[in-house]
Structure 1
Amino acid sequence: MVGYNFARAVDEIANKTPERVAVLCVDEDGREQRLTYGQLRRETNRLASALARVGVGRGQRVLVLLPRGVEPYVVYLALLKLGTTVMPGSEMLRAGDIRYRVQHAETSVVIAHAKLTGEVDAIRGDCPSLCHFFSVGGAVPEWTSLEDTMELGSSADFVVSTADDDMAFLSYTSGTTGGPKGVVHTYRWPLEHLKVAGTYWFDAQPGEVAWATAGPGWAKWIWSPFVSVLGNGATAFVYQGRFQPERYLELLERYQVSLLCATPTEYRLMAKVRGLERYQVQLRSACSAGEPLNREVIDTFRRAYRVTVRDGYGQTENTLLVGTLRDMEVKPGSMGKPFPGMPVAIVDDDGQPAGIGEIGHIAVHRSHPALFRGYLNDPARTANAYRGEWYITGDKGRMDEDGYFWFEGRSDDIIISAGYTIGPFEVEDALVKHPKVAECAVVAAPDPERGHIVKAYVILRDPEDAKDPNLITELQEHVKRVTAPYKYPRAIAFVDSLPKTTSGKIRRVELRERAAMEAQVAAGGSEG
């Protein structure tokens, strides 16, 4: 029996509505690129059949490093048609990040935008598993042009047989210790995601222009811009420019976007725009995920556009687990309720259900059909993520008497900043590579716009270096060069020592409390 393949499902939509626009892409200068479902079907067939001719096939792991645009849609669908495993990679990854992923997954193929190939070239010699290098958007020495490769293919239907349990996506997510974790999702996962999250939360309708602002390289891109939009036959709106709140509002108005999914930070900054009502935005639905959304933003959008921004919660390891669904009463600050029939609960340390109002672990029963199949090559880490039959998300929450969930914070040290998930180890590892840094610890510090920022407490080899007014900027730029720039510490404090346990472990809880107090003092000072 042939298993589910999301690419085949998109082809079925193309068969019925070939002229409907699948992807509408706009760059910073206003230039447009449109791809209909019929064109998308033909282009993905051409690429899949061409890659098959040059030796790329079922089971191979393919790292994809592409920025926003039409290309990720074509590449992801073609790779699914081939039966490969797609490894989403942010365009902000640096050579060390790429080396880790390629070596850990034994990746054999990389598809990268021409401007990103240099980071891959820097680690080629360390990664003997790599045997195919395809560039997009320009000729690069020692890389094969993906556009030229497509000339070898045919537009005739091409989809290999895949099993439901075949590995479709391998997404890496930060951990509190060690390197990022490789999260395994199967070919059936998109179907399970569409059944609930793609229908009752991000409810794109056929032909609607839907804008989900997440960029390729993140699990959230697979969730919404890719699966939830194309799987429902809607039009995926893509903007290739940098975030500017006024520009976003202009685009929402000009292209009559009816469905928006953005980060809380993006909503917060748009809500601050003076004269918000002058933009003739016609949103039917709006949703947000990544961190709790404050009441002021919800009220502002409701007042300006008569739309309620609905919150949602999920993880790379699963799908959207809890959310404010269509026509559900909004409790500002709450993440909503578990979807009907979905085994999500608040449990205690022993995996037993917590009482009403009691803070516990947000947990998912292992029977949840969209739950990941484990961390690649790491059975111990996978086993440690469970308490009995419950997968523990690492987040703490409580449930009120109406069944709504409320986020109470991380139970580990993961930092969530402006929707990005950041492991402190990765930032600390980058910082200590600087010759002036002896030791450091990184924690989350409260921030009014980003929710939290990365704050580093640094012990210098020579305390006198703290007098250098340029050192903080120097350290920040160093981190940006060593690892993905979004991880850099936006605040740095030089200290003589770090709080530690008797066994030598850093007491991050003390540093988090200190960072929160310092942020509160700074906010009070700015107001005064």
Structure 2
Amino acid sequence: MLSVFDQGPPSPCPCAFNLAAHVLGRAGTQPDKVALSVLEHDGAHDWSYRALEHAVRATGTGLLDSGLAPGDIVLMRLGNTVDFPIAYLGAIAAGLVPVPTSSQLTEPEVAAIIASLSPAAMLRDPAVASAAGAVEIPLDALRAMRDLSPCDWAMGDPDRLAYIVYTSGTSGQPRAVAHAHRAIWARQMMVTGWNDLRLDDRLLHGGAFNWTYTLGTGLMDPWIRGATALIPAEGTPISALPGLLHTHGATIFAAAPGVFRKLLQDHPALDLPDLRHGLSAGEKLSPALHAAWHTATGTGLYEAYGLSECSTFISSSPKYPARNAALGQPQKGRRVAITDDNGTPVPQGHEGTIAVHRSDPGLMLGYLNAPDETAARFRGDWFLTGDQGSMAEDGQITYLGRADDMMNAGGYRVSPLEIEIVLTAHPLITQAGVTEVEVKDDARIIAAFYTGPTALDERDLHTYVKDHLARYKQPRAFIHLPNLPVGANGKLLRRALREHFKAGET
């Protein structure tokens, strides 16, 4: 049998559709229910479904009144506050195209995005780094828009452009990934296949408002189901999460593996009587961490696999738990395969590239203004993720690593080339090689290896990268070498760099 999972397509997306209207559809049937609680150390600030919908649609009115027109691209430079999801959904409600970006990006990184996108406006929190080149709509003006009348939902073709996200490219240049309104429709397949969300759930996400993982799993998924989202306020330490989970009756806890890891280091046992299970995404979950969570809480921890180009499509769940070290299985409604480099499915049990069918509603429209680069990721009807795996007879998929050198930094995919370009611009560095290294069991960091006349002060290097790279892209270790390891063709051998670090030869 070939490595193809296909149990039929999902239900079709409505012909007249708006992503934001779909997310907030429950406001009409349960207007007074709490949609969102922003958790403070001494209480919570609640938003009802009625209040949230009004804020979103009124923001849409304000953005249109500011001179923007449907289809305009709007760059988001906002912090870790409720302003982020309100502005994001408000833009989409009015037919605009928001571009959420990490608040950790530096001025040069923002300048590069502005140059490539030419946004019609930038939504700007003055505390977040920015760059010239776009008309700014300041945070106080955004908040004032919530007093306006609500806009009409901009309904239309579900295949039209809805939003853009950035992901690191293998060339070292971040790529703009264009997504359609239908992308949110694909998330309904996660209910059975991953999160098991119910109407009475209270889902606490351990990430920031302005992270796409939080935006999807922590906010929009609960709202679509009519559940309640719980988000810790900005500045909440991980050490406070057990108390918040207990006090606010969280039934589901979602976070990146690093958050689970840090939490369990200090809390080998957790008293969470309302918790049903945990959700993990962003990077591979280790069996040891999974076991530690079960020991601490008595509940399961279910992981999901996706990427910037396609919403989560492989996962485990209470109904379909993963077997051994497998990721889980493709969600019902997805068509997924393990293929060779030509896009031909390989036999079950054989290693190949994880691929998703081009008909998947969660798959990107393409890389913005890059048709050749988009086409290069497809082989026939399959989008090749670049990650390796194998499929068992029952459809369970085991993750076998990346085919390329992409790294995971706190849930963000990062290209080593992007970091190497910055490092080699340093006047005292001649060559640089960047890779992930394991510093202890289940803990990895980005390490930079470099050559030059002499070893440089590590504090100076940390300062240098801080000025040029978002925090999650910054190496945590710098190693000076006389030469970087290369193959016969002169290509950098990243595996050899990892072996250098592991062997302590640095």
CA distance in 2, matches of 1:212, 1:38: 22
Cα distance between partner residues in 2 of 1:160 and 1:328: 37
Contact 2:19–2:162 (8 Å) recurs in 1: no
| Partner in structure 1 of residue 482 of structure 2 | 496
The answer as to 2:137 corresponding to 1:134 is yes
Partner of 2:326: 334
2:177 to 178, 183, 190: 183
Q: Does 1:350 align with 2:342?
A: yes
- Residue by residue over 1:264-311, the C-alpha shift from the partner in whole angstroms, topping out at 9 and shown as x without a partner, is 11112222224524x335211211112222223222322332211011
1:450 to partner: Cα distance: 6.2
Report the counterpart of residue 159 of structure 1 in structure 2. Answer: 153
Deviation at 1:432, TM superposition (A): 2.3
For structure 1, list consecutive stretches of 5 or more residues without a partner in the other structure. 139-144, 523-528
Task: Tell me if 1:472 matches 2:458.
Answer: yes
Distance 1:402 1:11, change over 3 A: closer
Residue 57 of structure 1 pairs with residue 69 of structure 2: yes
Indicate conservation of the 8 Å contact 2:185/2:361, yes or no: no
Between 1:369-378 and 1:430-439, the stretch displaced more is 430-439
Does the 8 Å contact 1:415/1:452 carry over to 2? no
Match of 1:67 among 60, 79, 98: 79
The 3-state SS of whatever aligns with 2:259 is helix
2:6 is matched with which residue? Answer: none
Q: Describe the shift of the 1:435–1:521 C-alpha distance in structure 2 as closer, same or farther (beyond 3 A).
A: closer
Offset, 1:433 = 2.9
Aligned residues: 493
Q: Tell me how far 1:202 sits from its aligned partner.
A: 2.0
1:519 aligns with 2:502: yes
Give yes or no for contact 1:225–1:236 (8 Å, CA) kept in 2: yes
Q: Residue 146 of structure 1 corresponds to which residue in structure 2?
A: 142
Task: Report SS of the residue matched to 1:475.
Answer: helix
Q: TM-score, normalised by structure 2?
A: 0.91
Give the partner amino acid of 1:185.
H
**CA offset at residue 324 of structure 1?**
0.7
Residues of 1 paired with 2:384 and 2:37: CA distance? 38
- Which amino acid in structure 2 is aligned with residue 269 of structure 1? K
CA distance 1:428–1:209, shift in 2 (3 Å): same
Residue 380 of structure 1 is matched in structure 2 by 372
2:116 corresponds in structure 1 to 104
- Separation of aligned partners in 1, 2:459 and 2:191: 42
Match of 1:266 in 2: 259
Task: Tell me the distance in 1 between the aligned counterparts of 2:378 and 2:122.
Answer: 33
CA distance in 2, matches of 1:519, 1:242: 34
Where does 1:16-31 land on structure 2 (aligned, <5 Å)?
A: 16-27=29-40, 29-30=41-42
Rounded Cα–Cα distance in structure 2 between residues aligned with 1:298 and 1:423 = 27
User: For the residues of structure 1 that align with 2:430 and 2:350, how far apart are their CA atoms?
Assistant: 41
**Does the CA-based 8 Å contact 1:264-1:290 persist in structure 2?**
yes
Structure 1 residues 474 and 483: CA distance shift in structure 2, 3 A = same
Distance in 2 between residues matched to 1:372 and 1:330, nearest whole Å: 27
For 2:213 and 2:242, the matched residues in 1 are separated by 22
* Identity score, percent: 26
Normalised by the length of structure 1, the TM-score is 0.88
**Aligned partners of 1:200, 1:245: CA distance in 2, in Å?**
28
Partner of 1:486: 472
Please point out which of 4, 14, 17 is paired with 1:4.
Answer: 17
Q: Mapping of 1:201-350 within 5 angstroms?
A: 201-242=194-235, 244-277=237-270, 279-350=271-342
How many angstroms does 1:401 deviate by? 3.8
Change (3 A) 1:243 1:440: farther
Partner-residue secondary structure (3-state), 2:272: coil
Partner Cα distance (2:475, 2:179) in 1: 31
- Offset of residue 424 of structure 1: 1.0
Distance 1:281 1:480 in 2: 42
- Inter-CA distance 406–520: structure 2 relative to 1 (3 Å threshold): farther
Root-mean-square deviation (Å): 2.3
Deviations 1:128-178 (A, max 9, x none): xx23x1222x5xxxxxx3233444x21x45222332122111000001213
Kindly state the Cα deviation for residue 6 of structure 1 after the two structures are TM-superposed. Answer: 2.6
Measured after TM superposition, the shift of residue 520 of structure 1 is 5.7
Structure 2 unaligned runs (5+)? 1-13
Q: 1:134 is matched by which residue type in structure 2?
A: I
